Structure 1
């Protein structure tokens, strides 16, 4: 059972917090946690990015955001890929 989902905007050198390059989510449940990112394949897939960020690795900045903000980023990515 899912107990909590936390969303993060992914910002690199070519994007901003207002226009992030991507979105991650951490899903925490009774059995542990796992992270997923929404990609240009238009699917949520497992990602090590948040774990790397927490260890100080990586070139991206991550900012916690609301579910509504995450949905807007997902729709922007979807639109950029499909043109719809």
Structure 2
């Protein structure tokens, strides 16, 4: 099975779907399932946030978004890291 990638907007108390706190992706294939968050280091890094939410941690909400929407969030994070205004 080819990788199946699902993107999620991370929504916390100070963000919204229109301006999410970040983006996380779940990569699934026959061998594994891994979650990665696009970090402030501007790289994809392992994350347990989605797994924790599935097991009762209600700190963040996760909403499925398209790859294009995820790209927009990533571009905003990149821009904010250069110009933190």
TM class by smaller structure: over 0.9
- Runs of 4+ with deviation above 3 angstroms: none
1:64 alignment partner in structure 2 = 64
Deviations 1:4-59 (A, max 9, x none): 00000000100111100000000001211100000111010000000001111141
The separation in 1 between residues aligned to 2:45 and 2:58, in whole angstroms, is 18
Higher mean C-alpha deviation, range 1-10 or range 14-23: 1-10
Q: Write 1 or 2 for the structure with the bigger share of strand.
A: 1
TM score, norm. by length of structure 2: 0.92
Computed over aligned residues only, the root mean square deviation of the Cα atoms, in angstroms, reads: 1.1
TM score, norm. by length of structure 1: 0.93
Aligned residues: 83
Gaps spanning 5+ residues in structure 1: where?
Answer: none
Q: Compared with structure 1, are the counterparts of its residues 47 and 2 closer, same or farther at alpha carbon in structure 2 (3 Å cutoff)? A: farther
Gaps spanning 5+ residues in structure 2: where?
Answer: none
